[in-house]
Structure 1
Amino acid sequence: PRWFILHPVQHRLKPIYPHGYVSPESSASYVVMGWGILIIGGLVNGKPTRDVVFFDCYGHRWFPFASLKMPRASASAWLIGEKLYVFGGIGDDVAGSSNWAEVYNPETRSWELLSAVTPKMPFNIKQSALVMDETNAFHVLDQDGESSSFTPSKPLFVASGKTDSKPGFRDDWCVIGDVMFCRGDRGRILWCLPETLDWQEVKGLEELQHSCDITKLCRKSANIVIFWNAQPLGSESLELWSAEISLEYWRAGEREIWGKIERSGSLLRLDPPLTDSCSIKVLYANNVFAY
């Protein structure tokens, strides 16, 4: 994996050179903290790791962070209040209620195993999102499509009784206000309220469905940013494109959300020779206020 920064004027990706740091091959978790990003766990030489690294977005340097108690890959990690939580990401053969979650203690600068009470432990998290309300509820969807929420003040997992049972592909959950968004298939962006999981399509973006297959969706303040691969007509090059989309809620009193493309364009180009299966995969993207 390679790291990039988006040039604010040229709107092109500029590489950041790691100076000896080697990113996990895949399956790491990422959390914005302060002026940087934490890279948590992931696969190293095909095996989950306990390593955690802090990337300084201002100085473009990597620093060791306290190691996890358990090796983890594809975990869900969230900064909830002033505490950092990591859920799941360990194998079914070792997973249990006593080691499934960890919380970082800033006073001791170490991770502690968190014993969470729950009638059913969602060991294999398919999607997760944090709803910033008075409870700071952390919503998860397990491999069976069943939804649960975690309240850090308890700590307690509660099954919502809701099932994400609609057919279709849904990935990259994110929350803006009290609404969850995700990317669907065929270039669609979907939304729902966390308590219902009744996914609806964001309207006004029909041109996306004819021009791109979204490979990554993330939040940028109150807007959504999407990424996709494109090959210019008559060219053998491959480009990574992005679009920033603003949102209008409850238009004309109807329970619907409309999107508007504010900016779109090519961020990165790979020139031939390229393999037939070549693609540009965005693992993580976020805006960080480096000061």
Structure 2
Amino acid sequence: MRKRSNSAAEERRQKKRKLDEKLSPLSSLPDEMIVSCLARVSRSDLAAMSVVSKRYRSLVTSPELYKTRSELGCVENFLYACLLTPPDPSPRWFVFRRGKPLFPIPSLPSQAPEASSVVVLDWGIYVIGGCIKGRPTSDVWLLDCRTHTWHYAPSMAVPRAAPAVGVIGGKIYVFGGCWGDKVDSLDWAEVFDPKTQTWDTLPPMPDRKMRTLHIHDSIVVREDKVYAIVGKDKTYYYSASEGQWGRATTTPPQRNPRDWCVIDKLIYCVDSKGNLCWCEPEDLDREPQGMYYWRRVKGLDSLNKKTLSTSRLVHFGARLKALWEARKIPNASNKNLIDMLPGARLSTCGGNLVLFWDVIEGDQLEIWFAEISLERRKGPEMLANILGPEMWGNIVSSHFVMTVDPFLDHYKVLHSVSVTL
């Protein structure tokens, strides 16, 4: 093991020397010209350049470089996944690239193993709140995806487990996830400004009964509103411009969506039957039935809907289960928490839809991945005015990314997010 480690270290030193030699003519140029050159280099090569010198490291991580890359159309999409892999108590982070296996990156030993929320802002992934040993935390961590380094961000005013999060105007909005007497806290909802590194209080949801129910995951940011689900089927939003709350819709119980994402302003979900569904953004505010207008994405018959509907990638600790049992909403006494909250993970990467889910085969657990491209088409001509357009999916890639044998406990995909760099 030591010989292998020494060999790898020597290889890195040789690579650094070669890069230093190649870049020496570049070093005589002004920073602006170097940034213009680096903007055309792939992300993997930029990571190698960052170890050459402090100057290059500073330029590789500078805002000017990523602004130039965006202007030149040289940005790349990277999919990040966070997994809990028993018996390791700490979540592990990976980068996933098409056609390649999960590639591990430095993880955070102190990250909450359950019920944290994540949000992407610019080049970073914020990990917000969560449960540590059955208790919520107010911790906030930032993963710098340019260098794969972790930074401690200012803590929230109150601890939160599975809060709803969303980004509007470069600020992070966080609400819910409070327990006990914190439900009535003036800091029930907060907003974080990365520029000033400060948290400010938002007005809490006025309906206290709704605040005491389990609020989880932001659905979507539409215009200046952050939508979230309260309990299992009530949809609420916070308007940043108006500084107030509003109720949007009631989600039809036959859909019971598991997870959400937005692609080209259309909203997608995986329902409890394993179907991939979509709706127009204005359907969020339809009355009285709101999201009754969900439609299935067609062309995905080869996806195993049975395993999607029974996926149990997301599990919750005993504390959250006990809270759910104590606060079950009327007429839902036979519903378990795992049946109400996300199982398969759904996200987007480069305009395509991405799914993670698990399949149990005997004593083996397989974690599967699928990337789906989407195409909007006109519906049947005779029914076009009634049914509207159709959405068709094409499976770009589908395969398992991890196998656990023997199967001892569920591995969990805690988060799946895309970052543009």
Question: Which segments of structure 1 move beyond 6 Å, counting only runs of 4 or more?
Answer: none
> Aligned pair in 2 of structure 1 residues 175, 101: CA closer, same or farther (>3 Å)?
same
Equivalent residue, structure 2, for 1:229: 358
**2:376 is the alignment partner of 1:249:** yes
- CA distance, structure 2, for counterparts of residue 50 and residue 231 of structure 1: 35
Matched with 2:279 is 192
Structure 1 residue 34: deviation in Å?
2.0
| Cα distance in 1 for residues equivalent to 2:147 and 2:169 | 26
Which stretches in structure 1 are left out of the alignment for 5+ residues? Answer: none
Which has the higher Rg, Structure 1 or Structure 2?
2
Q: CA deviation at 1:109?
A: 1.6
Unaligned runs of 5+ in 2: 1-90, 312-343
Inter-CA distance 118–163: structure 2 relative to 1 (3 Å threshold): same
| CA drift at 1:90 | 0.2
Give the Cα–Cα distance (whole angstroms) in 2 for the partners of residues 119 and 169 of structure 1. Answer: 23
Q: Is the 8 A contact 2:136 2:159 kept in 1?
A: yes
| Structure 1 residues 199-238: aligned runs within 5 Å | 199-209=294-304, 212-213=307-308, 215-230=344-359, 237-238=364-365
Q: Which residue of 1 aligns with 2:73?
A: none
Q: Structure 1 residues 93 and 204, CA, compared in 2 at 3 Å: closer, same or farther?
A: same
Q: CA deviation at 1:12?
A: 0.8
Give runs of aligned pairs for residues 8-157 of structure 1, distance below 5 A: 8=98, 10-18=99-107, 21-96=109-184, 98-116=186-204, 118=206, 122-123=210-211, 124-133=214-223, 136-143=224-231, 145-157=233-245
Measured on the aligned residues, the alpha-carbon RMSD in Å equals 2.5
What code does the residue aligned with 2:419 have? Answer: V
Q: What is the CA distance between 1:246 and its match in structure 2?
A: 1.3
The answer to whether the 8 Å contact 1:70/1:99 transfers is yes
Once the two structures are superposed, what CA deviation does each residue of 1:52-84 show, in whole Å capped at 9, x if it has no partner?
Answer: 111122222111100100111110111111211
Q: In percent, how many aligned pairs have the same letter?
A: 32
Contact 2:233 2:256 in 1 (8 A): no
Q: 1:139 & 1:17 partners in 2: Cα distance?
A: 32
- Structure with greater helix share of residues: 2
Q: Distance between the aligned counterparts of 2:357 and 2:203, measured in 1?
A: 40
Q: Normalization by structure 1: what TM-score?
A: 0.86
Q: How many residues align?
A: 280
Aligned to 1:284: 415
Deviation at 1:24, TM superposition (A): 0.5
More strand by share: 1
Task: State the shift of 1:106 in Å.
Answer: 3.7
- Which one has more relative contact order, counting CA pairs under 8 Å at least 6 apart? 2
Q: Would the aligned equivalents of 1:251 and 1:258 in 2 still touch at CA under 8 Å?
A: no
The verdict on how the C-alpha distance between 1:237 and 1:116 changes in structure 2, with shifts beyond 3 A counting, is closer
User: Does 1:175 find its partner at 2:262?
Assistant: yes
TM-score of the superposition, structure 2-length normalised? 0.61
Q: Residues 78 and 121 of structure 1: is their aligned pair in 2 closer, same or farther, counting only changes over 3 Å?
A: farther
State the shift of 1:220 in Å: 1.9
The residue number in structure 2 matching 1:165 is 252
Cα-to-partner distance string for 1:192-228 (whole Å, 9 max, x where unaligned) = 2322312222111122145632521112242211112
Paired with 1:265 and 1:103, the residues of 2 have a C-alpha distance of: 39
Local SS of the residue matching 2:415? coil
